[in-house]
Amino acid sequence: MKKIFILFVASLALLTSCSQDKLNDKSIFEDVADTTGCNKEFEEWLYINYVKPYNAVVQYQLPDGSTEMDYNLVPVSLTAAKKTAYAVKYLWMDVYKTKVDCTFVQSYTPRLFNLIGSPAIDAAQGTMTLGVAEGGVKITLYYMNYIDYTDMAWMNTYIFHVMHHEFSHILHQAKTFPSDYDQISAGNYDSEGWQYHTDEEAYSLGFVTPYSMKEAHEDFVEVISSYITDTRETWEARGFIMKEDHTGIEDIKTDMYPQGTPIINQKITMAKDWLREKFGYELDSIRAEVQRRQDALAENPDTIYHYCKVPVLK
């Protein structure tokens, strides 16, 4: 279970080119290129792959004030930090760069990826925070010391579902959220008790996860994130039959959730139309590329290292 806190502030100025030789303005993170000690090669890799093209930095040393002080947290290990940074490039950042364009990533990507080794658990609420986005500028990912390239379900739960969820928040806060979406499941949201609903209760009402039941904005981004990251097998394990061309859920009356299926399809269609109209971004194209990369990783867990041109870590 999870809760994700979102704030929003004014957008940063847009970068206009992916080509490094055209990005000569001084970065706000320029000092990370001054690398010494045992992290030198990793810091140089981060500088080339995050700072120069996207003016973004990966923070992994748990400085004071970088996280919520209500949790007892453990820093991410250097090995886990490397694995996370490589995975985010391969399965998230470069997907958008490839299928939309580099200026889209430059315009909307967070400027700070904050990595924490342990989970953030709120025992009183019975929830675990998987990620926190602050102002569209910073994303914190917890539980990264357990990253495992051979477990794509874990990777999606703790990294990529969170990343696509938070990124979709950034997008709908940048451009007008489709107001008609609020009415699709009006009356079924449960802002205070969403965590007490089962998956089956959520599906039967047309929600892709119990967290979707919190409110309409969370519902919207959960639909986008689930649609991108979840495999055909994951959808069908829930009782929804993915169409042969993977472009939505079969609206059939013989599935496990005949009332929930058309509602989820309506939400997916509205998300696709909005992303295409506002950002020129094809949701099915993003999904297809993510699924292709996930399949390649499942076939060979070292795929990420070869892609990122770094030594294999064990």
User: CA-to-CA distance for 282 and 290, rounded, in angstroms?
Assistant: 13
What are the tens digits of pLDDT across the range 265-287? 999 999 999 999 999 999 999 99
What's the predicted TM-score (pTM) here?
Answer: 0.83
| pLDDT tops 60 at residue 37 | no
User: CA-to-CA distance for 145 and 139, rounded, in angstroms?
Assistant: 17
* Mean pLDDT in residue range 254-258: 70
| pLDDT tops 80 at residue 91 | yes
- Confidence at residue 145, expressed as pLDDT on a 0 to 100 scale: 95
| pLDDT tops 70 at residue 68 | no
How is domain 175-281 classified at the CATH fold level?
A: Collagenase (Catalytic Domain) (3.40.390)
| Domain extent listing, the chain | 1-164, 175-281
Among residues of the chain, what percentage have pLDDT more than 90? 58
**Which CATH number among 1.10.3210.10, 3.40.1550.10, 3.20.20.10, 3.40.390.70 corresponds to the domain 1-164?**
3.40.390.70
Evaluate whether 1-164 and 175-281 have a shared fold. yes
What are the tens digits of pLDDT across the range 134-157? 777 888 999 999 999 999 999 999
